[in-house]
Structure 1
Amino acid sequence: MAITENSKELRQILWAGADILRSKMDANEYKDYLLGFVFYKYLSDKLLMEAYDLYEGGKPHTMAEAQRVYEEAHDDAVFLQELREKIRYSIQPDVTYTKLADKAENNTFQREDLQRGFNEIQESDPIFDKLFADVDLYSPRLGTGDLKQSQTVAELLKKINEANLMDYSGDVLGDAYEYMIGQFASETGKKAGEFYTPKAVSEILAKITISSQENVTGLTVYDPAMGSASLLLSLKQYSKYPDFIQYYGQELMTSTYNLARMNMFLHGINPSNQHLRNGDTLDKDWPTDEETMFHCVVMNPPYSQKWTANPGFLTDSRFSDYGVLPPKSKADYAFLLHGYYHLKNTGTMAIVLPHGVLFRGAAEGKIRRKLLELGAIYAVIGLPANLFYNTSIPTTIVVLKKSRGEDMSRDVLFIDASKEFERGKKQNTLTEEHINAIVDMYHNRKDVDKHAHVATFEEIEQNDFNLNIPRYVDTFEEEPEIDLGAAAAEIIQTDKEIAEAESELLKGLRELTASTPEGQAGLEQLLALFSKEAE
């Protein structure tokens, strides 16, 4: 997607806010402040714009004009009720972002006012509950003493206020927010695995899972380990009816869950289309009492994480068909089976996992064999190393289906994309060319020399249900033959050129004279050395 000048300007303003906090705390902490402030401004500006349109009609020229109208209309109970029904939250006129930014400019800002604004939004509707819980306005990280801390908050308010968020149409604001999350992931490093899937990987999973479902109205998408929801939201751009997508996601980390909720709003997702939950995906199945089967299941769970593997899970409908549970030390297949259980018969699931799931034995081997016998594993895609912030190991995308329609085969497409990347300073990346090549091979489902192979079930069975990609895709490249005669001639020519260069150097040294006896002695030693080398 092309980046517009408006988008670049917005990114620069928002990212500049990070400079105010960067020297005070690490990225994993200050991301919560910056993203929280951006979201508060978004909600505040949206309220003022909606209030102006409701009371005056149309769009104000400035946020100050919208603020004035909102203050005038705030005593009108009918107006307030209509506004509340439309946006589902409220903010008092004296604590809107516009008002607080003015106070910051006039040195009259108090942190208590901003906290009051946070509290009012959080108490407006359950969908906003504890949304700003990670933005601690009284943290000593902001500075030493109340004055310094208040000054830091005020500076951040003023910087973010340079962006009139309502001036940006479409997904510009959501994309800028996504960009910031990516930038924080880069700075945070390993901790970023908790909240961010690189955009290129998200794009591959989205294109694969939505394939042949682009025209579905009311598409349901599910990520049981959603992080910041970037992977879920990537599906939006490939649907013909994005406004009707129903998003389901669960996240264990509360701060990351809050980030996902903010990300949804900033991408313009209607609250009625958001079904997000803060909870442990493996410990207790969810969802169970609403939509439970989904068109698209996408997931980038924590790799080889420990889980309880309590024997009671053998009667859990997610795991009961396989006779064994994934080992306590590695929950990879627990995540996979959870996602697969919630997949519609007509849907597609794609999950990123470490390569070990392809060949490890014992319980994992039994689960893998069962899935292969069912024809559930549709494709295996090997990705390059060092794509993710939380690990440098190469990973694999496992694609699953519950039904292949009239095609009852149990073959598996293997794609080796491990060499398809652009090397970066910190992380390797996939370009659009790499992404398109991988997705095209997936859709074509044909053998491609050194890159892809469609393996029959019998072939996999002969390999004892081992799915290690090199068993099926031969990427070996023969070394070109060396012309020994040419190599010898090249060595002779090189030696000749070296001798000529040394001869010229020696000739030049002999023409030199020194101005002191010590210098002359040193020059004669140098001449003797080169003369010996030339013999």
Structure 2
Amino acid sequence: MSEDQKKQLEQQLWNIANTLRGKMNADEFRDYILGFIFYKYLSEKMELFANDILAQDKISFSSIKSGNTKNDEILEAIKEASLEKLGYFLKPQELFSAVALRGNNSDDKATSDQTSTNFILGDLQKILTNIQLSTMGTESEEDFDNLFEDMDLNSTKLGKTPDARNDIIAKVLAHLDKIDFKLKNSELDVLGDAYEYLIGQFASGAGKKAGEFYTPQEVSKILAKLVTTGKHKLKSVYDPTCGSGSLLLRVAREVKDVGDFYGQEMNRTTYNLARMNMILHGIHYRKFDIKQEDTLERPQHGSQTFEAIVANPPFSAQWSANPLHLSDDRFSQYGKLAPGSKADFAFVQHMIYHLAENGIMAIVLPHGVLFRGGAELHIRKYLIEQKNYLDAVIGLPANIFYGTSIPTCILVFKKCKENPEDVLFIDASKGFEKVKTQNILREEHIDQIVETYRNRTVTEKYSYRAPLQEIADNDYNLNIPRYVDTFEEEEEIDIQAVMQEIRELEAKRAELDKEIEVYFKELGLVF
């Protein structure tokens, strides 16, 4: 698929999403449109899978009608195979295309202003529930549990009356039904890319709240490239604040294969979105383990360690800082907890606990973690002086995250550093392009950061390898300007030359005054 075709698809989906825009805010209509896209994906995947099984019998899945013994036996066999392979099952009459057709009387009906005469809301709500029910008692049950719970088709936000709600949903389904997601071509991830595009659009439109579940793609790309340095395959990747799962999926693009994906997300709606995102990108239900809980208070992955860890946790979030955590293996060795008003280092400690000996972790944090005192200084000092885990500090431009303009940094940690004698500092704060109100990192900015990290290049006014002793001498203050001198000397001013230029200008002005005085006299005016 060409870049133009990809953009055309993205625009089509965004236009369909905007069908709901006037009725609710971005957060709400996001849940509906992404849910419908996911339902269409599951339907098409189901139909392709079933048609492959039925190919030798020259039967199409959508043509099978239940009600007679032979057909029921065929459907039962397909269901068994589908639950094993796909993790869920849909009946022929439950397929997206069948419901879209029932909701609209003719091909051109979806683009007209007429009201659909076929009422499908009851069927549709039941089908979404049945998808989950089909997984009960199977391996995939947890991965499909309540996936569609945020799609209340009886909400008055969709319309004041059932008929009004039915009409708008029928139109959305009809528009979506006309789009080919090209699932037959396994080499293309058209739908996955489009889904990511929509998530990004909703994040940029919804501000800070949306920014909590979405990391801008440029930042995701940097984090993914950092943690895959020197690796072609990963046994596992983990994100303790995984949001929509985009960051986990971005890591997978940087290597040939990822064994398993792990994540935890506190927000229930975003947790649902992350599981949908995984499945939509073709990640088998057995290969991902996404949990819904508070990562710091109730971690869900025991003492497992992971080869790559990435995170963009909520900046300076509050947490309990309960003294009982000092007996928790994640925090006990430090002797101090991150302050209750700023959980940044609590996330760092949690991630380091889960980092494998041969692993790399990269976390986005506010600049305050580099220099704040108290417990945070104590933790910084322990990580550098006692453990020597800190590998790099990378300063990013301000205003690159949705909903906040504060400058941020990336901290990279390794338990087995190839360069144990120093810490690499990169000041990438000036490498961006301003687009409207947002600062954007372009490919050249991303490449410069990643190549500088991988080669540990020292570049004047951009990067510096600070010996551990120098950091100790700075009392473990990691503020980047202490290590990367970006001061630009102003060009010396030649006072004599400036004075001469002023004298010449004064002389020219005097000559002009004389010329003007002549003109005034000719006009009989006083100059």
Please indicate, yes or no, whether the TM-score normalized by the shorter chain is above 0.5: yes
Distance, in Å, in 1 between the alignment partners of 2:57 and 2:335 is: 63
Counterpart AA for 1:183: Q
CA distance in 2: counterparts of 1:327 and 1:430, whole angstroms = 32
**CA distance 1:443–1:59, shift in 2 (3 Å):** farther
What is the TM-score when the length of structure 2 is the normalising length?
0.89
In structure 2, the residue matched to 1:151 is 167
| Secondary structure, aligned partner of 1:136 | coil
Partner of 1:160: 176
Q: 1:161-218 CA distances to partner (integer Å, 9 max, x unpaired)?
A: 12122356422211111011111111111112221001011111111111122244xx
Deviations 1:101-123 (A, max 9, x none): 10122131320111111001112
**Structure 1: where are the runs of 5+ without partners?**
512-526
Q: Which segment drifts farther, 102-111 or 464-473?
A: 102-111
Decide which of 361, 385, 395 is 1:349's aligned counterpart: 361
Secondary structure of the structure 2 residue equivalent to 1:56? helix
Aligned equivalent of 2:130: 120
After TM superposition, the structure 1 stretch with the greater mean CA deviation from structure 2, 165-174 or 42-51, is 165-174
* Alignment partner of 1:279 is 2:278: no
* Equivalent pair of 2:204/2:211 in contact (CA under 8 Å): no
Q: What is the aligned counterpart of 1:380 among 389, 393, 398?
A: 393
Q: Quick one: structure 1 residues 365 and 52, their matched pair in 2 at CA, closer, same or farther if it must change by over 3 Å?
A: same
Which position in structure 2 is the counterpart of 1:464? 475
* Identity value in percent: 47
| 1:207 aligned residue | 225
Aligned to 1:438: 449
Query: 2:84 matched to 1:68?
Result: no
Give the corresponding residue for 2:204: 186
Instruction: Check whether the contact 1:297–1:349 (CA below 8 A) recurs between aligned residues.
Output: yes
Amino acid at match of 1:434: H
Classify 1:440/1:249 alpha carbon distance in 2 versus 1 (closer, same or farther; 3 Å).
Answer: same
Alignment match, 2:465: 454
The alpha-carbon distance between structure 1 residues 74 and 203, as it changes in their structure 2 partners (threshold 3 A), is farther
Structure 1 position 248 matched with structure 2 position 262: yes
CA deviation digits over 1:373-395, x for unaligned, max 9? 11111100000000000311000
Name the CA distance, whole Å, in 1 between partners of 2:55 and 2:396: 55
The superposition leaves residues 443-473 of structure 1 with CA deviations (integer Å, 9 ceiling, x where unpaired) of: 1213210001111111011101111111001
CA distance in 2, matches of 1:257, 1:59: 40
* 3-state DSSP of counterpart to 2:14: helix
CA distance in structure 2 between the aligned counterparts of 1:280 and 1:320, rounded to whole angstroms: 19
1:38 maps to 37
Q: Give 1:154 deviation, angstroms.
A: 1.1
Residue 230 of structure 1 aligns to which amino acid in structure 2?
S
> Match of 1:423, SS?
strand
Counterparts in 2 of 1:448 and 1:68: CA distance versus 1, 3 Å? same
What is the CA–CA distance in structure 1 between the aligned matches of 2:398 and 2:521, rounded to whole Å?
57
Q: What displacement does 1:430 show?
A: 0.4
User: Does the CA contact (< 8 Å) of 1:293 and 1:343 recur in 2?
Assistant: yes
- Do structure 1's residue 327 and structure 2's residue 339 form an aligned pair? yes
Secondary structure, aligned partner of 2:393: strand
Residues 433 and 389 of structure 1: is their aligned pair in 2 closer, same or farther, counting only changes over 3 Å?
same
8 Å CA contact retained: 2:293, 2:299: no
In structure 2, the CA distance between the partners of 1:391 and 1:482, relative to structure 1 (3 Å rule), is: same
Partners of 1:29 and 1:483 lie apart in 2 by: 63
Runs (4+) of structure 1 exceeding 3 A deviation are 57-60, 69-74, 482-501
- In the aligned structure 1, how far is the partner of 2:468 from the partner of 2:412? 16
Distance in 2 separating the partners of 1:185 and 1:334:
26
Letter in structure 2 aligned against 1:49: L
Contact residue 16 and residue 159 of structure 1 kept, 8 A = no
- Pick which of 365-374 and 145-154 moved more: 145-154
Partner of 1:514: none
Considering fraction of residues, name the structure with more helix.
Answer: 1
Specify the code of the residue in structure 2 equivalent to 1:25: M
Contact 1:226 1:299 in 2 (8 A): yes
Aligned length: 501
Letter in 1 for 2:218: A
SS at match of 1:352: strand
Partner of 1:401: 414
Aligned to 1:111: 121
Q: For 1:28 and 1:324, locate their aligned partners in 2 and report how far apart those are by CA, in whole Å.
A: 38
Mapped to 1, the partners of 2:315 and 2:64 lie a distance apart of: 52
| Contact in 2 for aligned 1:223/1:232 (Cα 8 Å) | yes
Secondary structure of 2:440's aligned partner: coil
The answer for the alignment partner of 1:390 in structure 2 is 403
Instruction: Supply the distance in 2 between the matched residues of 1:58 and 1:368 (Cα, whole angstroms).
Output: 66
> Which segment is superposed worse, 27-36 or 69-78?
69-78
In the TM superposition, 1:354-365 aligns within 5 A as 354-365=366-377
Q: Is the 8 A contact 2:305 2:355 kept in 1?
A: yes
Deviation at 1:489, TM superposition (A): 6.8
Cα deviation, 1:219-248, whole Å, max 9, x if unaligned, reads 2000000000111111111112x2x43100
Distance of aligned partners of 1:213 and 1:488 in 2 relative to their CA distance in 1, 3 Å threshold:
same
Secondary structure of the corresponding residue to residue 443 of structure 1:
helix
When the two structures are superposed, what TM-score results if normalisation uses the length of structure 1?
0.87
Paired letter, 1:208: L
| RMSD of aligned Cα (Å) | 2.9
Q: C-alpha distance in 1, partners of 2:521/2:299?
A: 88
Q: Are residues 449 and 167 of structure 1, via their aligned partners in 2, closer, same or farther at CA, if it must alter by over 3 Å?
A: same
Report the residue type matching 2:192 in the other structure: G
Q: Paired residue for 2:113?
A: none
* CA contact 1:236–1:245 (8 Å) conserved in 2: no
Bigger mean CA offset, 392-401 vs 164-173 = 164-173
2:138 aligned partner: none
Structure 2 letter corresponding to 1:435:
I
Q: Residues of 1 paired with 2:374 and 2:25: CA distance?
A: 42
Write the letter of the residue equivalent to 2:164. K
Residue of structure 1 in register with 2:247 after alignment: 231
Please say if residues 52 and 58 of structure 1, whose CA atoms lie closer than 8 Å, have aligned partners that are also in contact. Answer: no
**Amino acid aligned to 1:67:** S
